[in-house]
Amino acid sequence: MHQLTIRELAKGLRDKSFSSVELTQHYLDRIQTLDSAYNSYITVTADQALAQAKAADERIAQGDDSVLCGVPMAHKDIFCTDGIKTSCGSKMLDNFVPPYNATVVENFNRLGAVSLGKTNMDEFAMGSTNESSFYGAVKNPWDTSRVPGGSSGGSAAAVAALLTPAATATDTGGSIRQPASLCGVTGLKPTYGRVSRWGMIAFASSLDQGGPIARNAEDCAIMMQAMASFDSKDSTSMDHPIEDYSALLDKPLAGLRIGVPKEYFGEGLNPQVAEKIQAAIKQFEAMGATIKDITLPHNSLAVPAYYVIAPAECSANLSRFDGVRYGHRCENPADLMDLYKRSRSEGFGEEVKRRILVGTYALSAGYYDAYYSKAQKVRRLIKQDFMNAFEEVDVIMGPTATSTAYELGSLNKDPVSMYLEDIYTTATNLAGLPGISIPCGFVDGLPVGLQVTANYWREGQLLNLAHQYQQETDHHRQTAPNVA
Amino acid sequence: MDQSDIAKLANLARLDINETTASEVAESINGILGLVDQLQNANTDGIAPMAHPQDAMQRLRKDEVSEENVREQFQAIAPEAEEGLYLVPKVID
């Protein structure tokens, strides 16, 4: 059953090949047996999952035709879940049990989906390796001595290890696409404003966006349909028509104009990864697309602008964790200042504190113009590069990451070298554009991801071209060793 | 940035950075500031700062009650609350 896609599971549930309770129990058993090798879940909610499955079986018996009804999935532990611990990968929220559901969680519940549990992540989504989690590093199913990527490493690893058919995730600077690339799965970062951020613990509010990770584009389309909604509770949610993503999947690619920026193939890109990306672009050409060389002249400034804007917004967002209303509180505080300082210092890990300090500096008196304001101006230049490109091409293709998965412990010592690994992904967030990572081959047995970026609101186009590519290739059907 | 700058910054951010790690923290922050200083080379004359990718404005709504009062549920997860109030160490003698 764990080999089946969401579409196949929905059919199996209707055919009575298995019930949702049987399917859910099967996944729970797999998690129990196998996840000690990957650490992809922080919390497994067996009782709630089985109760949801039982209710879904009743709905299906009564003719419910929602594709996700009775289908197991998992939520990144950044989405608030009513009555279920939501840690955000942090000691600060190790005791936090929210009294409400995120809008995204409500959307899945309404459709009758079954949540298996909460997936592991970098603390407060800050990291590219999943090693900053309070609950320990996640291991890459393709090679457990390597990282799964981050920050949605638990979601990507759980999908790659067939411990869930699909999972929710979030992307602030590449946190859906990069782990999808490193784990050989498909991950979509939607347009900023497409998926509600209500109940999704905030890291950098002008960049954060929820999206799905699944085994293929067809399943991502189903997940995305559930996640996309206009939400009056999220002031940054945009009221824009939602496409029927599944209906768009079969559109032929003839006439698709692909832009390939020279900046994505410069120094720092592993040459074997570059070959796989070039081969994938050639495949699209064979399928009827035309290829054009383009330029994104400000791309090298994306990482510097990102590492001002994201920490600045994080320092403001994380000021709410003060040991007073919820979350970790230190023992025996001497006074209020001691309460704040010790609760925060004990509750936050090293990388989170580092980003809070950088952000506090960038926003402090006398430095605001030089850092935050300057970064926001550069952000506009980066967006303008994309807008110029989209006058000539429909989508932009390149690598998602500079290499395949790194060895555990190889990157997390030096923050700057870790930050520079985000060179292909951060610009998309700064511009608020949608992007997808699609498996496009292997180097030394490790997956490589092709990144595709489209214009605003073109999630349907990204899923369409990914699906068409996946009809012609089988990279996404490969499974990691020891998971079958 | 040196250790005393870190102490000032840590106070602003309500964090405790002990003296033994302060120099290490200063070093890593200096590394990051070195990275972000590349921004200074960009010509941004006449460019307006961009706060929202699509330059959207904040939506307004009618000033009316839209949420139920769930104070008890929220206070149930507080480290210390009593009679509807959050408790903190004494602020005024």
pLDDT of A471 reads 98
pLDDT at A328 over 90: yes
Note whether A440 and A474 are within 8 A (CB): no
**A151: annotated active-site residue:** yes
Closest CA to A426 of A264, A212, A223: A264
Our CA dihedral for A279, A297, A387, A189, rounded to 10 degrees, sits at 50
Tokens of A415: 């923050």
pLDDT at A274 over 90: yes
Least confident segment among A266-275, A344-353, B50-59: B50-59
Strand positions, DSSP E, chain B: 81-82, 85-86
CB-CB neighbours of B23 under 10 Å: 11
pLDDT at A411 over 90: no
pLDDT of A217 reads 98
State the total domains in chain A.
1
Higher pLDDT: A484 or A339? It is A339
Q: Is A36 on the interface with B (CB under 8 A)?
A: no
Residue A185 is which amino acid? V
Closest CA to A364 of B1, B12, B27, B32: B12
pLDDT of A202 reads 97
Mean of pLDDT values over B2-27: 92
**C-alpha distances in Å from residue B82, one per residue of A42, A455, B74, B76, B77:** 31, 52, 12, 10, 12
Mean of pLDDT values over A119-140: 97
pLDDT at A154 over 80: yes
A198 contacts in chain B (CB < 8 Å) = none
Q: Is A140 exposed, middle or buried (0-12, 13-18, 19+ CB in 10 A)?
A: buried
Using the 8-state DSSP alphabet, how is residue A109 labeled? Answer: H
Three-class SS of residue A188?
A: strand
CA distance A465 to A333: 57
Mean of pLDDT values over A380-392: 98
Q: What is the largest CA-CA distance in chain B?
A: 57
Tokens of A97: 């049990």
Residue A122 is which amino acid? D
pLDDT of B56 reads 85
What separation, in Å, do the N-terminal and C-terminal C-alpha atoms of chain A show?
Answer: 10
The residue behind tokens 């929210």 is: A98
Mean of pLDDT values over A340-365: 96
pLDDT at A412 over 80: no
pLDDT at B66 over 90: no
For chain A, the average pLDDT equals: 97
ipTM of the complex in this document? 0.96
| B21 alpha carbon, distance to own chain's centre | 21
Do the Cβ atoms of A378 and B77 come within 8 Å?
no
pLDDT category of residue A101 using cuts at 50, 70 and 90: very high
Q: Is A479 on the interface with B (CB under 8 A)?
A: no
Q: Report angle CA B18, B19, B25 to the nearest 5 degrees.
A: 80
Catalytic-labelled residue, pool A19, A40, A66, A76: A76
pLDDT of B92 reads 82
B56 contacts in chain A (CB < 8 Å) = 193, 236, 238
CA distance B70 to A56: 29
**A377: annotated active-site residue:** no
Which residue among A193, A334, A380 sits closest to B89, beta carbon to beta carbon?
A334
Three-class SS of residue A119?
A: strand
pLDDT at A216 over 80: yes
Residues with Cβ within 8 Å of A212's Cβ and at least 6 positions away in sequence, in order, are: A166, A167, A168, A169, A176, A187, A188, A219, A220, A223, A224, A227
Supply the pTM of this predicted model.
0.97
The nearest CA of chain B is from the CA of A460 a distance in Å of 19
pLDDT at A413 over 80: no
For chain B, the average pLDDT equals: 92
Domain holding A143: CATH number? 3.90.1300.10
Do the Cβ atoms of B42 and A380 come within 8 Å?
no
pLDDT category of residue B18 using cuts at 50, 70 and 90: confident
pLDDT category of residue A9 using cuts at 50, 70 and 90: very high
Cβ contacts below 8 Å, chain A against chain B, sum to 171
Do the Cβ atoms of B9 and A364 come within 8 Å?
yes
Note whether B55 and A431 are within 8 A (CB): no
Catalytic-labelled residue, pool A20, A40, A175, A246: A175
Three-class SS of residue B2?
A: coil
Q: Is A76 exposed, middle or buried (0-12, 13-18, 19+ CB in 10 A)?
A: buried
Residue A369 is which amino acid? D
Q: Which strand (E) or helix (H) includes residue A339?
A: helix A336-347
pLDDT at A308 over 80: yes
pLDDT at B93 over 80: no
pLDDT at B86 over 90: yes
CA distance A277 to A325: 49
Nearest CA in chain B to A340: B14
pLDDT of B29 reads 95
CA distance A470 to A185: 12
Nearest CA in chain A to B22: A354
| pLDDT one-digit tens code per residue, A52-71 | 999 999 999 999 999 999 99
pLDDT category of residue B54 using cuts at 50, 70 and 90: confident
Do the Cβ atoms of A380 and B91 come within 8 Å?
no
pLDDT of B91 reads 86
Q: Is A255 on the interface with B (CB under 8 A)?
A: no
Mean of pLDDT values over A310-325: 97
Q: Is A368 on the interface with B (CB under 8 A)?
A: no
Mean of pLDDT values over A199-227: 98
pLDDT category of residue A421 using cuts at 50, 70 and 90: very high
Catalytic-labelled residue, pool A19, A20, A132, A151: A151
Domains of chain B: 1-40 (1.10.20)
Q: Containing domain of residue A318, as a range?
A: 1-484
B17 contacts in chain A (CB < 8 Å) = 345, 353, 357
**A437: annotated active-site residue:** no
pLDDT of A224 reads 98
pLDDT of A484 reads 82
| pLDDT one-digit tens code per residue, A132-144 | 999 999 999 999 9
Mean of pLDDT values over A347-353: 97
Residue B30 is which amino acid? N
Mean of pLDDT values over B80-90: 94
